[in-house]
A and B are shown apart, each in its own frame.
Chain A
Amino acid sequence: MKTFKMGGVHPEENKISNDAAIQVIPVGAQMVVLMNQHLGAPATPVVQKGDKVKVGQLIGEAQAFMCANVHSPVSGTVAKVEPVKDAFGLLKPAVHITVEGDEWMETIDRTPDIKRECTLEPAAVVAKLKEMGIVGLGGATFPAHIKYSVPEGKKAEYLIINAAECEPYLTSDYRVMMEHAEEICIGISILRKALGVPNAYVGIESNKPQAIARMQEVARQFEGIVIEPLKVKYPQGAEKQLINAVTGRKVPSGKLPIDVGCVVSNVGTTFAVYEAIQKNKPLIENILTVTGKKLPTQHNCLVRIGTTFADIVKHTIGELPATTGKVISGGTMMGKAIVNLDAPTVKGNASVLVMDEGEARRAPETACIRCGKCMNACPMGLEPYLFSSLVKAGRTEEAQQSNILDCIECGCCFFSCPANKPLTDEIRLGKNRVRAMMAAKK
């Protein structure tokens, strides 16, 4: 079985919510929709207080290059356009909507039929992705229309679908594959034609045999979809690692996947692409895993974007256990702890992971013993211990020369460190400093 060559670790998989079917979470009374749910500049609100909106109506318009449209996930009246605290407590521009009924835009096809045929030209597909506000749902929330506009002089040779789901605990991609395999394959076909590549490769880690079987069964009905089982290793789902695993190619430092002829898309995104292109449905829903070792029940749920984390908890597990230490958005390796549970969910949120006090606590840091485990674990071939000392000494320029910006912040170094040094934190601090230094030099 294929996998990427360099580094990587194998954390406890903990896919305990695998068997929980996707349940629909009811809409709250008041929804808050953030304007920056994607990588890049925030969208500009195009509604005002008192405006009536329908489900799927455009409320935030992408005006900058790196930006994505935002649509209303509910129908009702705009209560205010005012910043709100996001999951990490930081103020972000947002539109507040008081929910009234559930009236959808007429253009959205809400029938359960599966539409296979797509006659759109590649340029029209990209335009529609932009209109529907599709972003990459693998975590980075990169606007899809930019990814699928291949720059002049470059040629896409491979379309790689990321279904590795290498993060521990997360099962939302797995559930989407089990329940919507056909839609995913249609989405893949649309993207494959838009890029003009002969084959699309779907990378699935071998710890999901049922998903592999299901996808293989459905993919047979389609042209040019190859299912690629991969050996379980974290961070297989990272773009550059997945390219290496599937094609054997290596993205050079500072380059993008398209420079080696690859375009990588998350499996959840392909489902959103299907809904956008074939059903005219903008990205207004999210599939999240609600999980935790100490929780009585495990869930996978479909929520409207803007539902608060507190509401999701209320409708799935009832309330947080008294021993809760941390609630994490994302998996254990790259996820971030949520400070404000009353914050709305945004595009790309993949989970609500509840950890109890014992699990959540970081072990105390001790001195580096120069064992080199972090170097062996680093999938980018970097030297995390070196960055740690350079950042501590404030030697930003040297850190830049040692390619600190190549770090993908996967957390393998911190995971493998026997001294429990917060290596990933230090590297992220160093990256911030390098970026600030580069901005100052410009």
Chain B
Amino acid sequence: MTQQILIAVLVLGAIGAFFAVVLYFVAQKFKVVEDPLIDEVADALPGANCGGCGKAGCRAFAEACVAQGNMDGLRCAPGGEPVATRIAELLGCTVEQGEPQVAVVRCNPSFCGEKRRANYDGLTSCAFAASVFVGESGCAFGCLGCGDCVAACQFDAIRMNPQTSTPEVDEAKCTACGACVKACPRRIIELRNKGRNNRRVYVSCVNKEKGAAARKTCDNACIGCSKCEKVCPVSAITIADSLSYIDFTKCIACRKCVTECPTQAIRDVNFPSPAKKAEPKPAPEALEAPKVEVPKAEPVAVPQAEPAKA
């Protein structure tokens, strides 16, 4: 009996020892050397796997950081400054942080909710709706209202407003990862600098139709009248394809364009008081007044009026 137990123990022990040796060499042969730094960097990241950095996920981002040895061209938008500083610390490099950004929805349809022009009851997907028709608002450039951006957001930072059926961004939650920008088939969402005190001015329209057509499409459309371009003191505004665009790197948030815009297409956010209409200048008003007063039947009156003003 004792002998049998002894044999069993010895045999099993021998087999165990043999495989231990084999496994040891196999493990040596196929050893994967991984920089422990990758784990540390990955731990420092938010772990949302949002893909905002352009990598497959947070671990892929960490691998890229470690492989590169610095953070040039690599940026974790959701993590922001604290995460960037921590990673820079781990990698032993310096990091230059860009301005904090936020997603901005550049559409403010007037024909929405109760006033919508069509009633869509197909698949709730902007990508699908865009392939089928113009959208409930009747604008071929504007928001389709099915919420592909809401579905894409990993941070619960974007919600549909049921009244306007357009998305609204929660600034506190938005990490500027850009997932919604990619999800929108109409490309109406843009990442813009948060601005000083979170105050921003932007054109809330992407309609490239000519003025009259755009006006017919939506009351709040940019008609490309270039009034804002002329009034801007820092030349931050450009007009292309009948559409105004404010360069957020140049904008000083003076809000002159906001008051000038005839269609309220330019929006200002987080300002304490509404933008005031600019003080009416006396000179142009005086010039305009006689022109109106001059009776159409007497064109001779015009040259008379002019020297009186001069």
Which residues of A are at the interface with B, using a C-beta cutoff of 8 A? 85, 88-91, 336-337, 339-340, 361-362, 422, 425-426, 428-429, 432-433
If A89-B140, A90-B140, A91-B140 touch, whether A336 touches B132 (CB-CB below 8 Å) is: yes
Question: Is B226 at the interface (CB under 8 A from chain A)?
Answer: no
If A91-B140, A339-B118 touch, whether A425 touches B133 (CB-CB below 8 Å) is: no
A433 vs B123: C-alpha distance when bound (angstroms): 15
If A88-B132, A88-B134, A339-B118 touch, whether A422 touches B123 (CB-CB below 8 Å) is: yes
How far, in Å, is A421 (CB) from chain B's closest CB?
Answer: 9
Question: Are B121 and A429 neighbours in the complex by a CB distance under 8 Å?
Answer: no
If A90-B140, A339-B117 touch, whether A429 touches B134 (CB-CB below 8 Å) is: no
Question: Are A89 and B123 neighbours in the complex by a CB distance under 8 Å?
Answer: no
How far, in Å, is A49 (CB) from chain B's closest CB?
Answer: 16
11 chain-A/chain-B pairs, Cβ below 8 angstroms: A88-B134, A89-B134, A89-B138, A89-B140, A90-B134, A340-B134, A362-B121, A425-B125, A428-B128, A432-B127, A432-B131
A89 vs B122: C-alpha distance when bound (angstroms): 16
Q: Which residues of B contact A340 (CB under 8 A)?
A: 134
Chain B window 186-217, contacts with chain A (Cβ cutoff 8 Å), 1 for yes, 0 for no:
00000000000000000000000100000000
Shortest 9 CB-CB contacts between residues of A and residues of B? A89-B134, A425-B123, A88-B133, A429-B128, A422-B123, A362-B121, A339-B118, A339-B133, A425-B122
Question: Is B135 at the interface (CB under 8 A from chain A)?
Answer: yes
Q: Which residues of A contact B121 (CB under 8 A)?
A: 361-362
If A361-B121, A422-B122 touch, whether A90 touches B127 (CB-CB below 8 Å) is: no
How far, in Å, is A27 (CB) from chain B's closest CB?
Answer: 26
How far, in Å, is A79 (CB) from chain B's closest CB?
Answer: 16
Beta-carbon nearest neighbor of A91 in chain B: B140
A429 vs B128: C-alpha distance when bound (angstroms): 5
Question: Are A429 and B127 neighbours in the complex by a CB distance under 8 Å?
Answer: yes
Question: Are B122 and A90 neighbours in the complex by a CB distance under 8 Å?
Answer: no
Q: Which residues of A contact B131 (CB under 8 A)?
A: 428-429, 432
A52 vs B234: C-alpha distance when bound (angstroms): 50
How far, in Å, is B252 (CB) from chain A's closest CB?
Answer: 36
A336 vs B127: C-alpha distance when bound (angstroms): 17
Compute the total of residue contacts between A and B using a CB distance below 8 Å: 48
Chain B window 123-149, contacts with chain A (Cβ cutoff 8 Å), 1 for yes, 0 for no:
101011001111100101000000000
A91 vs B209: C-alpha distance when bound (angstroms): 10
Question: Are B132 and A85 neighbours in the complex by a CB distance under 8 Å?
Answer: no
Chain B residues 49 to 79 lying within 8 A of chain A, measured CB to CB, are none
Q: Which residues of A contact B140 (CB under 8 A)?
A: 85, 89-91
If A422-B122, A425-B123, A426-B123 touch, whether A89 touches B133 (CB-CB below 8 Å) is: yes
A433 vs B125: C-alpha distance when bound (angstroms): 13
A379 vs B122: C-alpha distance when bound (angstroms): 22
Contact residues of B: prevailing secondary structure: loop
Beta-carbon nearest neighbor of B138 in chain A: A89
Beta-carbon nearest neighbor of A422 in chain B: B123
Contact residues of A: prevailing secondary structure: mixed
Beta-carbon nearest neighbor of A426 in chain B: B123
Q: Which residues of B contact A426 (CB under 8 A)?
A: 123, 128
How far, in Å, is B122 (CB) from chain A's closest CB?
Answer: 5
Q: Which residues of A contact B135 (CB under 8 A)?
A: 89
Give the one of B132, B135, B140 with max A CB within 10 A: B132
A89 vs B133: C-alpha distance when bound (angstroms): 6
How far, in Å, is B14 (CB) from chain A's closest CB?
Answer: 49
How far, in Å, is A92 (CB) from chain B's closest CB?
Answer: 10
Give the one of B117, B122, B133, B138 with max A CB within 10 A: B133
Q: Which residues of B contact A361 (CB under 8 A)?
A: 121
How far, in Å, is B134 (CB) from chain A's closest CB?
Answer: 3
Q: Which residues of B contact A89 (CB under 8 A)?
A: 118, 133-135, 138, 140
How far, in Å, is A22 (CB) from chain B's closest CB?
Answer: 30
Q: Which residues of B contact A88 (CB under 8 A)?
A: 132-134
Question: Are B134 and A339 neighbours in the complex by a CB distance under 8 Å?
Answer: yes
Beta-carbon nearest neighbor of A432 in chain B: B131
Beta-carbon nearest neighbor of A362 in chain B: B121
A85 vs B128: C-alpha distance when bound (angstroms): 19
Question: Are B134 and A85 neighbours in the complex by a CB distance under 8 Å?
Answer: yes
A197 vs B131: C-alpha distance when bound (angstroms): 39
A44 vs B134: C-alpha distance when bound (angstroms): 24
A259 vs B7: C-alpha distance when bound (angstroms): 74
Beta-carbon nearest neighbor of A87 in chain B: B133
A340 vs B138: C-alpha distance when bound (angstroms): 9
A256 vs B225: C-alpha distance when bound (angstroms): 52
Give the one of A89, A426, A429 with max B CB within 10 A: A89
Question: Are A429 and B125 neighbours in the complex by a CB distance under 8 Å?
Answer: yes
Q: Which residues of A contact B125 (CB under 8 A)?
A: 425, 429
Give me 5 other A-B pairs in contact (C-beta within 8 A), A339-B133, A429-B123 excluded. Answer: A89-B140, A91-B140, A425-B123, A432-B131, A433-B127
Q: Which residues of A contact B132 (CB under 8 A)?
A: 88, 336
Q: Which residues of B contact A91 (CB under 8 A)?
A: 140, 209
A85 vs B132: C-alpha distance when bound (angstroms): 14
A392 vs B263: C-alpha distance when bound (angstroms): 39
A425 vs B129: C-alpha distance when bound (angstroms): 9
A429 vs B117: C-alpha distance when bound (angstroms): 23
Q: Which residues of A contact B127 (CB under 8 A)?
A: 429, 432-433
How far, in Å, is A329 (CB) from chain B's closest CB?
Answer: 12
Q: Which residues of B contact A339 (CB under 8 A)?
A: 117-118, 133-134, 138
Beta-carbon nearest neighbor of A89 in chain B: B134
A48 vs B209: C-alpha distance when bound (angstroms): 21
How far, in Å, is B180 (CB) from chain A's closest CB?
Answer: 16
A429 vs B144: C-alpha distance when bound (angstroms): 15
How far, in Å, is A91 (CB) from chain B's closest CB?
Answer: 6
Q: Which residues of B contact A429 (CB under 8 A)?
A: 123, 125, 127-128, 131
A425 vs B122: C-alpha distance when bound (angstroms): 7
Q: Which residues of A contact B138 (CB under 8 A)?
A: 89, 339
Q: Which residues of B contact A337 (CB under 8 A)?
A: 118, 133
A85 vs B118: C-alpha distance when bound (angstroms): 15
How far, in Å, is A384 (CB) from chain B's closest CB?
Answer: 13
If A361-B121, A422-B123, A425-B122 touch, whether A90 touches B133 (CB-CB below 8 Å) is: yes
Beta-carbon nearest neighbor of B135 in chain A: A89
A429 vs B122: C-alpha distance when bound (angstroms): 11
Q: Which residues of A contact B122 (CB under 8 A)?
A: 362, 422, 425
Q: Which residues of A contact B134 (CB under 8 A)?
A: 85, 88-90, 339-340
Q: Which residues of A contact B209 (CB under 8 A)?
A: 91
How far, in Å, is B120 (CB) from chain A's closest CB?
Answer: 9
